């Protein structure tokens, strides 16, 4: 008699699936998939051109959907393949999970629980697993890179996340497939976060467990080139956000609220402490008289985001 997976009914009720991109993780893949099937068989595996024993292992797990790339194309392309296929199968949500053994399948529960509490009137939900990067056992290079990404994500979206690089996430499939995603490797996970936030999705963290065993773990992250691509991506996002996204959002707020309400809520922020307004004015004046001609707007918005000050007041007083 077949035992029904623990979370199967919940996945069916939520019209949700799991997407597993994998590349040369044969050492952990079989045990991982064996554990995963205890919770659901609503799984799409993307074999991204693996050259190890991955294909042989996948033949043992025929209950899962499988897409195979003839050659390695990068994690971003693998995820896009998974999202497109999930859409074709009619799924509304997809939880992505890495196959290298660092994520715990039983944490699917925290994503499902959060999704179950979502109301129809709520904005689309995009959840990112928070690995608590400051705790013991987390590689220092991962923690530093995550802090860098978190900072610039705040600058370009105004949303504070504690972990922007975890691969354990819940995505709204239709929204993701509507985005014009141009990257193809690890940086796609940042691109989709930023662009979903710009589309007014509810992007937030949710706590998860993580297991790092550095001596046994295979990573395909290439520190130099992958970091270069991430930096270039954020540079582009900074320009787009400051010269299009932030002005667009403020203009939409102005139209929706009218001058009086906009002035009260967005300019003077009547609920905001006086010292915060004074700090925003001081920042604007400081940037305005600084010798960094040509980048005053970029600088004032960046610093206002860093110090969580009123961007509009800071901008006005910088001019």
- Lowest average pLDDT, out of 21-25, 215-219, 254-258, 264-268, goes to 215-219
> What distance in Å separates the CA atoms of residue 69 and residue 78, rounded to the nearest whole number?
8
Nearest partner of 206 among 79, 95, 76, judged by Cα: 95
- Average pLDDT (63-92) is 98
Strand partners, 68: 47
- The pTM score is 0.85
Q: In the chain, pLDDT over 70 holds for what percent of residues?
A: 92
Contact (Cβ atoms closer than 8 angstroms) between residue 128 and residue 161: yes
- The residue that leads in pLDDT, 247 or 93, is 93
Poorest-pLDDT segment among 117-126, 219-228, 255-264: 219-228
**How much is the pLDDT for 184?**
93
Q: Can you tell me the distance from the alpha carbon of 34 to that of 29, in angstroms, rounded to the nearest whole number?
A: 8
Q: How far apart are CA 25 and CA 11, in angstroms?
A: 26
Q: What is the pLDDT of residues 108-118, one digit of tens each?
A: 999 999 999 99
Provide the pairing of β-strand 16-22 with 43-48: parallel
What average pLDDT does range 194-206 have in this prediction?
98
Cβ–Cβ under 8 Å, residues 129 and 193? no
Residue 68: Cβ-neighbour burial (10 angstroms; 0-12, 13-18, 19+): middle
The structure tokens listed for 138 are 């987390």
The H or E element spanning position 254 is helix 246-262
pLDDT, position 235: 92
For residues 60 and 34, the answer to whether their CB atoms sit within 8 Å is: no
Residue with tokens 């802090």: 147
Average pLDDT (234-243) is: 90
Q: What is the structure's pLDDT at 40?
A: 98
pLDDT at 197 over 90: yes
Average the pLDDT over 79-90 and give the result.
99
The C-alpha atoms of residue 140 and residue 132 are separated, in whole angstroms, by: 12
CA distance 23 to 58: 12
Alpha helical stretches, state H, 185-245: 188-198, 223-240
Confidence band for 264, pLDDT divided at 50, 70 and 90: confident
Which two three-digit tokens encode residue 263?
């002035």
């Amino acid at each position: 008699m077949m035992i029904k997976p623990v979370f199967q009914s919940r996945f069916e009720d939520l019209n949700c699936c799991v997407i597993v991109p994998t590349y040369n993780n044969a050492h952990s893949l079989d045990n991982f998939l064996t554990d995963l099937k205890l919770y659901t068989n609503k799984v799409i595996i993307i074999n991204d051109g693996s050259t190890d024993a991955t294909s042989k292992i996948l033949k043992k797990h025929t209950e899962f959907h499988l897409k195979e790339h003839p050659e390695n194309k990068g994690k971003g392309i693998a995820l896009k393949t998974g999202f497109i296929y999930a859409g074709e199968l009619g799924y509304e949500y997809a939880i992505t999970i890495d196959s290298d053994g660092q994520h715990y399948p039983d944490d699917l529960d925290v994503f499902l629980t959060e999704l179950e509490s979502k109301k129809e009137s709520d904005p689309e939900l995009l959840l990112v697993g928070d690995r608590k990067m400051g705790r013991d056992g987390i590689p220092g290079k991962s923690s530093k890179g995550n802090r860098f990404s978190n900072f610039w994500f705040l600058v370009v979206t105004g949303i504070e996340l504690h972990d922007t690089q975890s691969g354990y996430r819940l995505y709204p499939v239709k929204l993701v497939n509507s985005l014009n995603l141009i990257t193809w490797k690890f940086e796609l996970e940042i691109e989709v976060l930023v662009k979903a936030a710009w589309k007014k999705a509810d992007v937030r963290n949710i706590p998860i467990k993580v297991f790092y065993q550095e001596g046994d773990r295979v990573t395909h992250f290439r520190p130099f080139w992958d970091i270069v691509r991430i930096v270039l991506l954020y540079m582009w996002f900074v320009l787009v956000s400051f010269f299009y996204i932030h002005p667009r959002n403020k203009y939409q707020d102005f139209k929706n609220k009218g001058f009086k309400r906009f002035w009260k809520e967005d300019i003077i922020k009547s609920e905001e402490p006086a010292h915060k307004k004074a700090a925003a004015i001081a920042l604007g004046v400081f940037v305005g008289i600084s010798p960094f001609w040509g980048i005053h707007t970029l600088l004032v918005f960046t610093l206002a985001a860093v110090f969580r000050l009123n961007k509009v007041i800071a901008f006005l007083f910088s001019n």
